[in-house]
Amino acid sequence: MLADRYGSRPLVLWGTAVTALGTVLFTQLSAAPDDILLSVSLLVRGLGLGFVGVAITAGAYRDISATAIARATGMISVVQRLGASFGTAVIAVILAAQLPNTSTSPGTGHVASGYGNTF
């Protein structure tokens, strides 16, 4: 496993950089973004997030005694779900503030601009 070979810290740093690289495209969205380009961007982001998630989990379990694994598993699961929910809510609020009233604005350029400003 890579976390055992290289340690968690380099994998988290690498995964964060790859995730940021995959996110850069979302700041450059046009009114009609290319589906292939968005798919590649999401693939790159997923790769980076996968490295981060696995490395953090492996690092957390590395120093836990065998008797505490069950409690640690539950705790990590709760923290991950709360963090994901909170992060999604924050991004949704920022996006909602960036989007103008879509019922009165013709076209889709303003929607793409709102996503570009959010990310």
The count of structural domains within the chain is 1
The 8-class DSSP code of residue 67 comes to: G
What are 67-106's pLDDT values in tens digits?
998 898 999 889 989 999 999 999 999 888 888 765 555 5
Q: Which long-range contacts (CB under 8 A, 24 or more apart) does 99-108 make?
A: 107/31, 108/31, 108/32
Torsions phi, psi of 29, nearest 5?
A: -65, 140
Q: What pTM, to 2 d.p., does this model score?
A: 0.67
Between 94 and 113, the more confident residue is 94
- Domain containing 11: what range? 2-118
Top-confidence residue, 1 or 86: 86
Name the average pLDDT for the chain: 84
pLDDT number for residue 111: 73
- Supply angle C-alpha 56, 62, 64, rounded to 5: 110
